[in-house]
Amino acid sequence: MDIAIKDGKIVEKVDEKKAEVVDASRMIVMPGGVDIHCHIAGAEVNSGRILRPEDHFKDVEAKTALTRSGVGYSIPSTFTTGYRYSRMGYTTVMNPSMPPLEARHTHEELDDTPMVDKATYPLLGDWWFVLEHLRDGLLEECAAHVAWMMSATKGYAIKIVNPGGLEAWGFGRNVKNLDDPVRYFNITPREILRGLCRVNKLLNMPHTIHVHTNNLGQPGNYLTTLETMKCVEDLAEEGHPAIHITHCQFSAFKGSDWGTMSSGAEEIAKYVNHHSHVTLDMGQVIFTDTTTMTADGPFQYGLYQLSGNKWVNHDVETETSAGIVPFRYKRKSAVHATQWSIALELALLIKDPWKIYMTTDHPNGGPFTAYPHIIAWLMSGVARKKTMSKISKRARRKSLLPSIARELGFYEIAIVTRAGQAKALGLKQKGHLGVGADADVAVYDINPELVDPSKKYKTARRAFKRAAYTIKGGEIVVKDGQIVRPVFGKTFWVDVKTSLPIEVNDDIKRKFREYWTVEYENYPIPDRFLHVPAPIPVKAEV
């Protein structure tokens, strides 16, 4: 079968005499990879780069005639990030946490991240406007403000991190559960989640709310996660997801303390298998030295106390917080090994691959360059067993993995690494190779008819590490794992049209000087600030 490409799109057919032909026989052809959640740009990522010169020394990329130089490992410089994604056949990457006040920074970095299309999610779960409007029951006004914010920060989806907890962290506190009210605001995390879920629907956003749960990284938090999924159950329309729980592994711990910590994957998988309103991504842990960074300030402080490593905190006025702690996941640590197991259990126990996607929550669970390893674990029981034999004995005893025989096939891998993610993101032109799709194609040098990945997992791993071809927007950009043509990607943002824009502007203007330390007119990012802006127009119901 042939795939015809013209003007950056997949078309019915082209003039075969004039067209350039890429011979992909005996290879796997997939749509370009889509990553739904990886921290590659912005204030916190860059603070991580500054914090960790030791992370860069061991992994450098020299300048070539075509590419810029840079450094790699857990927090690569921007150019290197783009090149490395492209070499693995990825063409679309989502940066999941952007403090709205520092949106300009995120977009400057995304502009310097070549080879991939990208978008970024503003952090809105603890924004004072959201808290106040939801507390007062002003759902439509809240929606209009969120719409303003999407356009002002050129954002793509509503990101919620530890709802309520980040505002409390402003004074060094946290919230304990979904019904623990936020001090001074008299609103609970449950109300924030439900409110923003309804706002998301009112605005017809392409993606659902993107949620990092309360109590992340605490033993026993799988109950909070189940509660979080349940709390929006009634808001979902039949068959449509209403919530995305991100890096679910970190929110699926059972037990009462670190000594008794075990996997809550079975319970979460059971819930997800019986409900259609939830999507998840894995947040796989890799046994390596990495850098954790989230907007969850209290969690990062806890991690600093646990590890004693260096710690960065960055609270952002009126909006959010952030933290960074370098971290090494060790095979022989029972907790770390259990975390490794949990993510795989989730991916294998959830029956429908359209509900769970492959991520490492780069760089929190490990760098994205480890994706081929995860693919090998998902496709091969032998690969899992091999790693299992090297991990902590206690974790091995508790792990559910030996009891799971399931091995994903290439089609399922295509779903968990691109098709499912594109669908969850509402990117209609990505994640498939149908006519009209963007001509983002990855070709991997492995013959699915001859190679059994469950046995030859190393061959599969090698193939997914270096794409034979990556085609971005109809141009061959990678050949045999080497960049052959550097290109800029687009930056998607959601341009929500509401019926109330003028009143919103007035309200925000009035409160602007009270809430922030910058002027109203210096806050929004103009469209021309982005290198290649790609607004997605959406008509809201307010």
For residue 194, give the H/E element and its range. Answer: helix 189-202
Q: Measured at the alpha carbon of residue 535, what is the angle toward residues 532 and 539, in degrees to the nearest 5?
A: 175
Q: Which of 184, 402, 482, 505 binds other proteins (CB under 8 A)?
A: 184
Tell me the per-residue interface mask from 54 to 93 with other proteins, x by CB under 8 A, - otherwise: -xx---xxxx----xxxx---xxxxx--------------
Q: Which is nearer to other proteins, 62 or 405 (CB)?
A: 62
Instruction: Please state, in angstroms and rounded to a whole number, the distance separating the CA atoms of residues 478 and 115.
Output: 9
Q: Are 290 and 74 in contact (CB under 8 A)?
A: yes
From 83-91, 307-315, 367-375, 478-486, give the range in contact with other proteins by CB under 8 A: 307-315
Q: Which is nearer to other proteins, 40 or 388 (CB)?
A: 40
Cβ-based neighbours of 276, under 8 Å, separated by 6 or more: 236, 238, 239, 240, 241
Compute how many residues bind other proteins; rule: CB under 8 A: 61
Phi, psi of 325 (to 5 degrees): -145, 125
From 288-296, 439-447, 471-479, 512-520, give the range in contact with other proteins by CB under 8 A: 512-520
Instruction: Please state, in angstroms and rounded to a whole number, the distance separating the CA atoms of residues 372 and 467.
Output: 11
Alpha helices in 88-188 (DSSP H): 103-111, 128-135, 139-153, 165-169
Q: Is 482 one of the binding residues for other proteins (CB under 8 A)?
A: no
Tell me the per-residue interface mask from 323 to 362 with other proteins, x by CB under 8 A, - otherwise: -xx-------------------------------------
- 98-157 binders of other proteins (CB under 8 A): 101-102, 104-105, 108-109, 112
Among the listed residues 412, 426, 465, 467, the one whose alpha carbon sits nearest the alpha carbon of residue 444: 467
Q: Which of 143, 229, 265, 312 binds other proteins (CB under 8 A)?
A: 312
For residue 280, give the H/E element and its range. Answer: strand 278-281
DSSP secondary structure string, 76-109?
--HHHHHHHHHHTTEEEEEEEEE-GGGHHHHHHH
- What's the min distance (Å) between Cβ of 137 and other proteins? 21
Instruction: Please state, in angstroms and rounded to a whole number, the distance separating the CA atoms of residues 239 and 196.
Output: 19
Instruction: Please state, in angstroms and rounded to a whole number, the distance separating the CA atoms of residues 110 and 153.
Output: 13
Q: Which is nearer to other proteins, 111 or 345 (CB)?
A: 111
Q: Which is nearer to other proteins, 316 or 358 (CB)?
A: 316
Query: Which residue in the block uniquely carries the two structure tokens 């509900």?
Result: 355
Sign of torsion over alpha carbons 360, 365, 371, 374: negative
Q: Which is nearer to other proteins, 106 or 360 (CB)?
A: 106
Q: Is 186 one of the binding residues for other proteins (CB under 8 A)?
A: no
Q: Which is nearer to other proteins, 75 or 205 (CB)?
A: 75
Q: Which is nearer to other proteins, 78 or 392 (CB)?
A: 78
Q: Which of 129, 301, 357, 371 binds other proteins (CB under 8 A)?
A: 301
Q: Which is nearer to other proteins, 55 or 440 (CB)?
A: 55
Q: Which of 204, 276, 313, 454 binds other proteins (CB under 8 A)?
A: 313
Q: Which of 515, 531, 534, 536 binds other proteins (CB under 8 A)?
A: 515
Q: Is 49 one of the binding residues for other proteins (CB under 8 A)?
A: yes
Q: Which of 260, 482, 505, 522 binds other proteins (CB under 8 A)?
A: 522
- What's the min distance (Å) between Cβ of 190 and other proteins? 24
Q: Which of 170, 181, 448, 481 binds other proteins (CB under 8 A)?
A: 170
Q: Which is nearer to other proteins, 74 or 208 (CB)?
A: 74
> What per-residue string of b and e applies to 147-159 under the rule 16 or more CB within 10 Å gives b?
bbbbbbbbbbbbb
Q: Is 172 one of the binding residues for other proteins (CB under 8 A)?
A: yes
Instruction: Please state, in angstroms and rounded to a whole number, the distance separating the CA atoms of residues 485 and 487.
Output: 6
Sign of torsion over alpha carbons 170, 171, 175, 181: negative
Q: Which is nearer to other proteins, 65 or 502 (CB)?
A: 65
> β-strand 278-281 against 243-245: which pairing, if any?
parallel
Q: Which of 37, 38, 46, 118 binds other proteins (CB under 8 A)?
A: 46
- What's the min distance (Å) between Cβ of 173 and other proteins? 9
- What's the min distance (Å) between Cβ of 112 and other proteins? 6
Instruction: Please state, in angstroms and rounded to a whole number, the distance separating the CA atoms of residues 351 and 347.
Output: 8
Q: Is 53 one of the binding residues for other proteins (CB under 8 A)?
A: yes
Residue 351 CB neighbours (<10 A): 11
Q: Which of 202, 516, 530, 540 binds other proteins (CB under 8 A)?
A: 516
- What's the min distance (Å) between Cβ of 81 and other proteins? 10
Q: Which is nearer to other proteins, 124 or 278 (CB)?
A: 124
Q: Are 155 and 511 in contact (CB under 8 A)?
A: no
For residue 534, give the H/E element and its range. Answer: strand 533-539
**E strands in 209-277:** 209-212, 243-245, 253-254, 262-263
- 201-260 binders of other proteins (CB under 8 A): none
- Positions in the binding site for other proteins (CB under 8 A): 41, 43, 45-47, 49-53, 55-56, 60-63, 68-71, 75-79, 101-102, 104-105, 108-109, 112, 170-172, 184, 301, 304-305, 309-318, 321, 324-325, 514-522
